[in-house]
Structure 1
Amino acid sequence: MSRPGPLAGIKVVEFAGIGPGPFCGMLLADMGAEVTLLERAGGTFASQLFGGGRKAVANRGKKSLCIDLKNPEAKALVMQLIGEADVLIEGFRPGVMERLGFGPDTCLELNPRLIYGRMTGWGQSGPLAARAGHDANYAALAGVLDTGRRHGGAPWAPPTLIGDMGGGGLMLAWGIACALIETGRSGQGQVIDAAMCEGAAVLAHGLFNLEALGEWQGKCAIDSSAPFYDVYACADGQWISVCPLEPQFYQTFIKRLGLSEDPDFAGQQYDTTRWPVMKQRLAVIFASSPRAHWEQLFDDTDDCVWPVLSMQDAPMHPHNQARQAFVDIAGVRQPAPAPRFSRTPGSIQSPPPLLGEHTQQRLMDLGLSSEEIARLVALGAVSVA
């Protein structure tokens, strides 16, 4: 029997959305929280983009209650759920929840201990609060997207990771965890205003640090301008990541490549005027053999040389397999819950639900009879799978 996660007993009401909100709910569910997902008939743009039902990884471990938030018959049910919840997650634009009748003032009056998590791109206030945006927009305005450029190239970054997931969903989950601790002491709830733009900036705190020191773009060891912190193409078209940043790792790195006495490399690690020549030569060297050759050459060293794996290959790497870092749920390969706990580990409680799969169960939990549920279905207030 699996042990309960660290958030076991915490009840969460999540209003269905896209991206960071569902990711935040997934993180809480992975850690044992009971997450009731309020979905609307027909699904959302997220279900169209990422696939609904069992393929919606962000909904794993949640219970789906399909409900029409605009139906007068549904409002009392939602308020009942909120009344017994510890956490609420919503990702609408500012003002939408208020117009629906579920604004923070209303909900906190009903449930003073409620932690009301709001997820937006720009925050609940400010000149951009009501404007639309996406991950790259938030990262761009935070000054972070620009740091994702290869030296001298166009700025870009892995999709959804900086603004949506890291700066958004992860920051909101962190805020909720903090608020749960504080509520345990004070007995009072509060509103969390999580803005993806601001969260993206926090993630980049170290880069702002380097910028303040004047060590960025062309003079920085980690912005892709340094030859010893980059990726290189191999003879078979695969890629290798090369990061011997520390001097002791750099020395053994060039030794393995037979470059210890080479004037282009010996004693030149942080001579930025030499970096272009060093990079050109390393590119030729790595292009001379397939990736497997370089993996074998550096397999027993601390030189920080590792293969660039695809999403298909990553789960098959021996280290990831030994750690069981990826799991198969309902036929979908996906990352396992993280981080790991020694005593109350997280776990995937169930596969992603079908739309409305738990409508009947959740309404019966609220004390509704089968006849009352059938009447609500007939009125279009709720739907069942």
Structure 2
Amino acid sequence: QRVQPSQEAPPGHYDPTRIHRPRVRVPRPNFLTAVTRDGRWIQFANTTDRLCVSLMEALDLLHLYGEERFAKLPAVFTEEDAEALWERVLEQVRQRTLDEWRAVFDQRRDLAWEEVRLPWESHQHRQVRHNGHFVVVPGLQGQETLQPGPLFTLDGVRALQLHRAPLLGEHTDELVSLPERPPSVERGGGEASDGPPLAGVTILDFSSWIAGPLAVSILATLGARVIKIEPVGGDLSRFSTAGLLAFPMTQGKESLAVDLTRPEGQEIVHRLVRRADILLHNYRADVPRKLGIDYETCRRLNPELIYVNASAYGDSGPDAGKPAFHATIAALAGNQARQAGAGHPPRDIDRLGLEDLKREAWRLIKAAEGNADPIASLGTAAAVLVALHLRDRHRRGYYIVTTMVASNIYANSDEAIVFPGRPPGQQVDEQVLGLGPLYRLYRAAQGWVFLACVQPSEWEAFCSLVGREDLAGRWQEAWGEGAAHLAGELEALFLGRTAREWEEAAIRADVPLVAVEERDPGRFFMEDPRMLSLGYSVDVVSPVHGKYRRHGAYWRFSRDRLTFGPWEPLGGHTVPILRELGYSDQQISDLVQRRVVEAWEGGRA
């Protein structure tokens, strides 16, 4: 989409005309939402040429490529072209039912799509059932209860001990009668750590796009040495969003560009596998075997290797080979529907014209940006840390499978639960302001605030702050039929001060209320003094781009330091890594000339 170029402004100064993301009124052609004839909403995510061709063919719209404006789909030249395509897709999809489209889509391996579900509906998905992402446990009253199961598998075994939720105070007597014993690990004191927590750990990162590479980037901040193995010519991230995606995906890593379709390239990687602690990829189906990095091959080379398949759907089952992106996983796991607002999306579409359908579809795609990729990254990083702990205890390697699906079901675990008599799930209101009058956004005289009174004592403190003690007795009303009336009173009340004035007063009174940050999220984290002081953004120096600011700490340790590396040029460490593996300069030159490897022209000794 067309965007006005950003203008420079002094560091720390916020200019609302400067934007990180394009402000557009229609979705991109690669992330379209549509509704079927029987009112079931579908999220598509066909963001590459191959996937888009598959979608157009499945929808009987392949002829659109004959029009000049659609010849380079999923890329288009104008918003008008994007809107025209969107309208064609909306009209086409609602010609058939969901089951009819499923029969068509299931015939195509290269098609990314999912039905939009609520969190408590995700257990019905066939791949979720196959993976065992939900398990049955006894409920509090003994009834069968479905809840999220294992986050990952270890050597094909679902890594989870099943326990029901305890009754209130059920174990009090048992716990208070336990004898005192010293902690198993010495706490406090001692010398400061010499380095980061994962110092000495080597990870080979073969993953692409976002979920896999970001998981490894998280581990890199903990001090792991990460070697990013890229194809000659570069990883996909180097071409997406004008190369900006490569920054978070390569930061803190060493780039080795190598052609794994050639025996000499596979030999280079096999030498690395023998030395590595962890190998991570997110390839589909039989790709690892073709590239010489399948599990059996790697296990023979290094029996203590932790081998991680950071998949979308899993390594077996009906949808194991299906492509996925953040929007489709958000649709499956409930992220999307949960943030769309009460009453959205509607199932009764007969009364909706095209413009109404577009408004609903646009609302849904924006709701999908409760982004499933970084959620999956955190799940994968957690699984790797567990496997490292087990490897160090048992001195053996493990085969781990994580899925984007499981991680995102866990992110919705408070609502991803099913049992007889389950009350309706809690949903944000139709305006997407919040869950009720005491937990929602309010417009102030200038800006917005968020009130979050989840305890009666907090509500009482707020009523005292605003001089409306008469409201304190309406706690129950706030969560019942009187909610709308109370919200209206609070809306008028909040217009009496600016957002910053409300926040300052709330801090003094210990009331859970904050002013809403209205800057672009990127600028907030990169420019706000509080974010800088907390280490959420840090300055690094790139050999190409010079000094720039990147995201910083996900966590802090009392005695361990974290590591933050810069953007890495393609093949930036090819030469030093090959030397480390025993290749002579003459051999390296030969490999470069024959395009078995690619080395950064800036060079590293």
Question: Do the structures match in fold with TM over 0.5?
Answer: yes
Measure, in 2, the Cα distance between the counterparts of 1:258 and 1:314: 35
Give the secondary-structure state (helix, strand or coil) at the position aligned to 2:414. helix
Corresponding residue number in structure 1 for 2:567: 352
Cα distance in 1 for partners of 2:590, 2:369 equals: 41
- 87, 111, 116: which is aligned to 2:307? 116
Displacement of 1:160 in angstroms is 6.0
Aligned residue in 2 for 1:325: 536
Counterpart for residue 313 of structure 1: 524
Larger radius of gyration: 2
In the alignment, which residue of structure 1 is the partner of 2:323? 132
Segments of 4+ moved more than 6 angstroms:
none
Q: Tell me if structure 1 keeps the 8 A contact 2:342–2:428.
A: no
| Structure-2 separation of matches of 1:182 and 1:262 | 54
Q: Structure 2: 5+ residue runs without aligned partners?
A: 1-191, 346-363, 542-546, 601-605
| Larger mean Cα displacement after TM superposition, 136-145 or 89-98 | 136-145
1:26-48 CA-to-partner distances (Å, cap 9, x unmatched) read 11111111100111233233222
Alpha-carbon distance in structure 2 between the residues aligned to 1:296 and 1:113? 55
Aligned to 2:278: 87
* Percentage of identical aligned residues: 26
The residue type paired with residue 383 of structure 1 is E
What is the alpha-carbon distance in structure 1 between the residues aligned to residue 463 and residue 501 of structure 2?
Answer: 16
Structure 1 residues 356-377: Cα deviation after superposition (integer angstroms, max 9, x where no partner): 1111011111011110000000
CA distance in 2, matches of 1:336, 1:185: 31
For structure 1, list consecutive stretches of 5 or more residues without a partner in the other structure: none
Whether the 8 Å CA contact 1:26–1:59 is kept in 2: the answer is yes
Task: Report if aligned partners of 1:234, 1:288 keep a CA contact under 8 Å in 2.
Answer: yes
Q: Which of 563, 576, 587 does residue 372 from structure 1 map onto?
A: 587
Shift of 1:153: 4.2
Larger displacement relative to structure 2 (173-182 or 291-300): 291-300
CA deviations on 1:86-125 (whole Å, 9 max, x unpaired) are 0001011222112222111111111111111111211111
- Displacement of 1:78 in angstroms is 0.8
Shift of 1:230: 1.3
Q: Which stretch shifts more, 278-287 or 168-177?
A: 278-287
Identify which of structures 1 and 2 has the higher relative contact order when contacts are C-alpha pairs closer than 8 Å and 6+ apart.
1
> CA-atom RMSD, angstroms?
2.8
**1:231 alignment partner, one of 441, 447, 472:** 441
Contact (CA 8 Å) 1:142, 1:197: kept in 2 or not? yes
Match of 1:257 in 2: 466
- List aligned pairs for 1:13-28, cutoff 5 A: 13-28=204-219
Contact 1:21 1:169 in 2 (8 A): yes
- Return the match for 1:248 from 431, 439, 457: 457
Alpha-carbon distance in 2 for matches of 1:276, 1:367: 72
**In 2: Cα distance, 1:2 partner to 1:224 partner:** 44
Contact 1:225 1:275 in 2 (8 A): no
- Note closer, same or farther for the CA distance 1:170–1:77 as it changes in structure 2 (3 Å cut): same
Give the C-alpha shift of residue 197 in structure 1.
0.8
Contact 2:306 / 2:399 at 8 angstroms: preserved in 1?
yes
**Structure 2 CA distance for aligned equivalents of residues 234 and 199 of structure 1:** 36
Q: C-alpha displacement at 1:184, in angstroms?
A: 1.4
User: Cα gap change, 1:316/1:228 in structure 2, threshold over 3 Å: closer, same or farther?
Assistant: farther
Task: Name which of 271, 285, 296 aligns with 2:504.
Answer: 296
